[in-house]
Amino acid sequence: MEVERIVKANDREYNEKFQYADNRIHTSKYNILTFLPINLFEQFQRVANAYFLFLLILQLIPEISSLTWFTTIVPLVLVITMTAVKDATDDYFRHKSDNQVNNRQSEVIIDSKLQNEKWMNVKVGDIVKLENNQFVAADLLLLSSSEPHGLCYIETAELDGETNLKVRHALSVTSELGADISRLARFDGIVVCEAPNNKLDKFTGVLSWKDSKHSLDNQKIILRGCILRNTSWCFGMVIFAGPDTKLMQNSGKTKFKRTSIDRLMNTLVLWIFGFLVCLGIILAIGNSIWENQVGGQFRTFLFWSEGEKNSVFSGFLTFWSYIIILNTVVPISLYVSVEVIRLGHSYFINWDRKMYYSGKATPAEARTTTLNEELGQIEYIFSDKTGTLTQNIMTFKKCSINGKIYGEVHDDVECKKEITKKKESVDFSVKSQAKRTFQLFDHSLMESIKLGDPQVHEFLRLLALCHTVMSEENNTGQLIYQVQSPDEGALVTAARNFGFIFKSRTPETITIEELGTLVTYQLLAFLDFNNIRKRMSVIVRNPAGQIKLYSKGADTILFEKLHPSNEGLLSLTSDHLSEFAGEGLRTLAIAYRELDDKYFQEWHKMLEDANAAMDKRDERISGLYEEIESDLMLLGATAIEDKLQEGVIETVTSLSLANIKIWILTGDKQETAINIGYACNMLTDDMNDVFVISGNTAVEVREELRKAKENLFGQNRSFSNGHVVSENKQQLELDSVVEETITGDYALVINGHSLAHALESDVKKDLLELACLCKTVVCCRVTPLQKAQVVELVKKHRNAVTLAIGDGANDVSMIKSAHIGIGISGQEGLQAVLASDYSFAQFRYLQRLLLVHGRWSYFRMCKFLCYFFYKNFAFTLVHFWFGFFCGFSAQTVYDQWFITLFNIVYTSLPVLAMGIFDQDVSDQNSMDCPQLYEPGQLNLLFNKRKFFICVAHGIYTSLVLFFIPFGAFYNMVGEDGQHVADYQSFAVTMATSLVIVVSVQIALDTSYWTVINHVFIWGSIATYFSILFAMHSNGIYEVFPNQFPFVGNAWHSLNQKCIWLIILLTTVASVIPVVTFRFLKMHLYPSLSDQIRWWQKAQKKAKPTSRRRPQTRRSSSRRSGYSFAHQEGYGELITSGKNMRVKNPPPTSGLEKTLYNSTSWIENLCKKTTNTVNSFSQDKAVKL
């Protein structure tokens, strides 16, 4: 096992001796050589296939075979071939997608030249060139970039779900290499680093070059799955490739997924085999007794010359003969039919136009055909946030300035109304630098700007000055903003559209255009954002010489810093903020302060001293920030919409009504995750409590969980202190009665570093118990591996069917772990789709997939199985009853051609039609009434109880089928006075009765009639009679005299009226109890689907109106809607000038010195970034 990795740059020969993995990825299961053995091995792991193989071997032994071998081998080969073809097709598409990724092009330095190379041919130690907006091909050590000081910007949404840009920087010694290919080709540094692992936030290593060593950390590494942003080019050295990359290490193993019905059928097959053995033993004992007492007399009567036959050995042979005859209780056609039905359901998903997204021309796709019915049994959904629930688009929606809300649309009577297409948006086209996609429907803000409202101007000026955005002009002269977080982009763009345009910046100045006039402000200080301060401020001097501090941040923090004179405005703005939060908008409070020149000089001197201090430096700086950010004057607040995907709220509401619990698992910040939870109604202000678990140690987490449970249950219920009291697995199985005692709605929010402790064996019981009692669970700052661990925890200990849905590479392990994995065809990358079982383009399609396709698939499969077991018990057990009247000789009741064709021809198509097309209620009613989904979750439609009912029904029918004809034939003569009680006539009568009875039964079972159902059901009866008369004809007897001995029997028997009366009596006796029971049940105890079906019939003549559930929003909320996807350290980058292309920076005066000591900005950024990247280390808790 690899302990450490040694990589030499530009030396493939040196690196090859370590046999590191290349950059090729494999998600496929087979290749040409391994397909047949592995696939056959997998198929014969299915109990039924092994059982049929065993039967086939028995049938090849002539002493015990009462049926020809082809009755088993033909369907067995058919099933195995069909499954193999399906598996091969699935794997072909995996190979195709693998090839698509592996054949992407990248530029690699080979033989001192930059050459195009496929991703799969990139080796460890190669130097790769990346360009802006390109995916990173492997885990790279950053060597140099187009940005000053070797900086580059990356987007890590595929890894951790965060949309804000991260900064990476090269070592100063390698950043000097620049884009000089000859120097890069001569670079021969050796990297010694950690072995491949799945920790996204940690990297340790050392670069040895030119007789010196340089330490490496996570800030020097760019991971596969990231995208290069706002950086023209960069060069990197491959450290980990292919399966060794941190992205692939987090993807988890592909698991062989099987549905709960599959597992139940395996159990039932074993039970049925045990039942057959019992029947075989009874008949074998009967045969031994009969041979002993009666068999000798028969031999004398028949003049057999054989000696005395051993009755025990005869019974032994009879046992195996009956095992062969009775094996049709579970015919192999069952498995063929199951596969065909699943295939049909998959095509229905693929063809569903209501799940087709025209925006990207993307249809829904069932990437597997084996899990459809499990879609109807989901209890838990684990959803990613970024790109799954949201669109990754931030838009400025509203603001409150000086106590007035802008951005709302009012009609004549001042009532809020929904924005419609008829309402004209504000026309920004007159502004040359306005962004065309920006829309606002409230004209009053533009009017206030034109009227020169000083508060409005100051508000927009603040938005244009207080940020970390960088600007540049493209070839057409259009202003392009490089934003570190989408929130800042939305705010600066809004100010730009209203005439306050951020133009450019240097480390000492900010230039903006205010309503057509260029104004340059001196940047005196930048008070950077961090997760504790939850605010950022700039101190600027305007051309008039006034010094002002502009600040924006969380309302909960900023309101404490306000001057007492703001009390009235504070109350009004608080109400506005509550209203914005109630609408699910992300809010920031906006404030400013005018500073006295002398006071600022003194404060700045103290700040310089604090920066130079050796001890308590951070505390002193923080104190000075607190001091100057006081007595602020409130300007107002902003409200940004983190745009949800269309239909998310409706989908979440509908799935909640279906009793499905939705958990959000995201790598994003806690505030952002909570805000989205409120935006899509997973969290509501009506909830009794929202528990936040954010402890940094196992003890703290255990205590927080204990307090939350005490709060939930009240003090009267005692709990263990978190230690495991019993090893019994049932300790983790939660009692449903306990859940029912919980009154009210609760939610749980837990951080990644807390989750790491909570997933430890002695705490996870408490975590699971609390989480499962909450209506909503939000896990933020979680790694891909933790997502999978949460899914596994619920899967294992709740025994519930789980579904995971995501769009990025960080969701792959979760998608693979859940029973059902769904990939969203997102903005970037296809990793989630490639690993998924189903894929579509929008989260809203999940509602239709589960409530319509999932429910129908489960309903159809259960109905199919119930009917199939019924008809085969009815068909097969007749042999058992006949055994008592044929000397237990293993003679079959029916002609063997009937036995062969019964399941393949006579009854296969009607049951397939029911299994593929049947539906109890329409798709619209399935969507409108989510409660219909509950039977699947409770597994009510097919379980062990249902199976025994089907078996009992089949046994009753077999008794009727055998004994009514037997009794009628006992002393019966035909109309011509001749007897009709011969074996062949009896066989034809029973076979005809059986076909008619099972056809009538399926007609009763069918809820939704189509032309296909009619053709298949009545066509099967017609087919039976046509084949019957053909096989009993003279012509076929003359060709195959040994195979078709029943010559003319069908004509003879079915010409008798009494035979038809027997068939009618048998059919009525079989069906009447079922009809009576169903009639009484439907009228006395109707199910929800029964009631809706009646309603459907009543509404059939009148065209039903399609009803959409309104998107429910809360009118107000007293919570903070603060959320700001920003990273600490960018202020320091700006004031240091390290990220600016300035050839001749102007000299700085004493006042214009940068805020920090510029020599240490990289070290500060490293230290601070560690606090904001995912803190997921299992062995060390990082305090956020």
Do 396 and 491 form a contact (C-beta atoms < 8 A)? yes
Going along 126-275, which residue ranges are E strands? 127-131, 139-145, 151-155, 166-169, 190-194, 205-209, 212-216, 221-222, 227-229, 233-240
Q: Report the 10 Å Cβ neighbour count for 211.
A: 5
Q: Distance between CA atoms of 826 and 116, rounded to whole angstroms?
A: 27
Cα distances (angstroms) measured from residue 888 to each of 288, 289, 317, 437: 9, 10, 11, 85
The pLDDT score that the predictor gives to residue 846 is 95
Q: Is the dihedral of CA 177, 1161, 596, 453 positive or negative?
A: positive
Joined together, the tokens standing for residue 326 give 């009775």
Q: What is the DSSP letter of 1104?
A: P
* Of residues 638, 396, 393, the one with CA closest to residue 497: 396
3-state secondary structure of 334: helix
Residue holding tokens 């939060």? Answer: 581
Please report the DSSP string for 394-459 in residue order: EEEEEEEETTEEES--B-TT--B----TTSPPP--TTSTT--TT-----THHHHHHHTT-HHHHHH
Q: Distance between CA atoms of 758 and 271, rounded to whole angstroms?
A: 41
The pLDDT score that the predictor gives to residue 613 is 79
Q: CA triplet 704, 708, 714: central angle to 5 degrees?
A: 140
Do 167 and 184 form a contact (C-beta atoms < 8 A)? no
384 is an active site residue: yes
The pLDDT score that the predictor gives to residue 1154 is 34
Element (H, E) at 590: strand 586-595
Q: Distance between CA atoms of 102 and 553, rounded to whole angstroms?
A: 45
Taking phi over 0 as left and psi of -120 to 50 as alpha, with beta for the rest, 108 belongs to beta
Q: Distance between CA atoms of 187 and 866, rounded to whole angstroms?
A: 71
Q: Distance between CA atoms of 788 and 818, rounded to whole angstroms?
A: 8
Q: Distance between CA atoms of 129 and 109, rounded to whole angstroms?
A: 8
Please write down the HEC assignment for all residues of 918-959: CCCCCHHHHHHCHHHHHHHHCCCCCCHHHHHHHHHHHHHHHH
Joined together, the tokens standing for residue 745 give 């709605």
Do 390 and 642 form a contact (C-beta atoms < 8 A)? yes
The pLDDT score that the predictor gives to residue 979 is 64
Joined together, the tokens standing for residue 1144 give 């001749």
Cα distances (angstroms) measured from residue 251 to each of 16, 642, 841, 861: 25, 28, 21, 32
3-state secondary structure of 1103: coil
Q: Distance between CA atoms of 207 and 792, rounded to whole angstroms?
A: 39
Do 743 and 758 form a contact (C-beta atoms < 8 A)? no
Q: Distance between CA atoms of 416 and 589, rounded to whole angstroms?
A: 23
Q: Distance between CA atoms of 541 and 522, rounded to whole angstroms?
A: 5
The pLDDT score that the predictor gives to residue 730 is 45
Do 837 and 257 form a contact (C-beta atoms < 8 A)? yes
Q: Distance between CA atoms of 117 and 128, rounded to whole angstroms?
A: 10
Residue 272: phi and psi, rounded to 5, are -65, -40
Q: Distance between CA atoms of 42 and 38, rounded to whole angstroms?
A: 6
Joined together, the tokens standing for residue 912 give 């397939």
* Of residues 520, 463, 471, the one with CA closest to residue 492: 463
Cα distances (angstroms) measured from residue 260 to each of 86, 666, 800, 839: 20, 28, 10, 21
Alpha helices (H) in 714-830, listed in sequence order? 736-741, 752-758, 764-773, 784-798, 812-817
Active-site residue, selected from the candidate residues 139, 384, 528, 811: 384
Query: Quick one: CA torsion of 722, 725, 731, 735, rounded to 10 degrees?
Result: -70
Cα distances (angstroms) measured from residue 563 to each of 163, 459, 461, 986: 35, 17, 21, 102
Does the pTM surpass 0.75? The reply is yes
Q: Is the dihedral of CA 910, 911, 914, 915 positive or negative?
A: negative
Residue holding tokens 């809020």? Answer: 416
Going along 954-1041, which residue ranges are E strands? none
Q: Report the 10 Å Cβ neighbour count for 198.
A: 17
Q: Distance between CA atoms of 922 and 928, rounded to whole angstroms?
A: 10
Q: What is the mean pLDDT of each run of 10 residues along the chain (1184 residues)?
A: 90 93 85 89 81 83 73 76 83 84 91 91 94 92 90 82 79 91 93 90 90 90 90 94 87 74 86 91 92 74 62 87 85 81 94 92 88 94 86 86 82 41 49 58 84 93 92 80 84 92 89 92 90 89 94 91 92 90 86 93 91 82 92 93 88 93 87 85 86 89 90 57 41 47 82 87 86 90 87 90 88 89 73 85 94 96 95 94 89 85 89 94 92 93 94 96 91 67 86 96 94 95 92 78 72 86 95 94 87 79 50 51 71 73 43 36 43 37 29
Q: Report the 10 Å Cβ neighbour count for 1090.
A: 16
| Sheet-wide strand order for 166-169 | 166-169, 151-155, 227-229
Q: Distance between CA atoms of 688 and 563, rounded to whole angstroms?
A: 34
Q: How far apart are the first and last CA of the chain?
A: 34
